[in-house]
Amino acid sequence: MELLPTIAAPGVGERADAAADAACHLYDAVVPWSGGEPGGWSRTAAEDAAETIETTAHALAHIHPRAEVILAPVHAALADLRRQLALAPADLLGAEGLPVVPRTVGNPRRTRWVRVLTPPSPRRPPPGTAS
């Protein structure tokens, strides 16, 4: 069973293709400057690149019901990179006024540990009752 249709919504395929091409061109521009070391970047270029990845991750969050949780480490990693580079944090509100950072980013443990509440087993009485 295929999870994704063959044809994307209008404009999605073209924009995703353009984003992939732009990322390749950015890589080609940065690598000759870096020589394996940090370099070639400006503050504005780094902020723009981080915002591009964040925005793309937000778009991908709509691809699958669990995608937001799956992509939470991307947002956490970019937030850490922004801190390490002394860049401004990501915008907290989107155009609709909704939070753009997945709720799981604030507490990464939430994605690893979920307390599952299950009804008591019929073989034993619920806690706090007489046996």
For the stretch 43-96, pLDDT in tens is: 999 999 999 999 999 999 999 999 999 999 999 999 999 999 999 998 765 556
- Tell me what pLDDT residue 126 has: 53
The residue ranking higher by pLDDT, 106 or 25, is: 25
- The 10s digit of each residue's pLDDT in 89-125 is 987 655 565 545 554 444 444 443 344 444 444 555 5
Which uninterrupted H or E stretch holds 77? helix 67-84
Between 129 and 2, the more confident residue is 2
The structure's pTM equals 0.66
Report the b/e string of 43-59 with b at 16+ CB within 10 A.
eeeebebbbeebebbbe
- Distance between CA atoms of 108 and 123, rounded to whole angstroms? 36
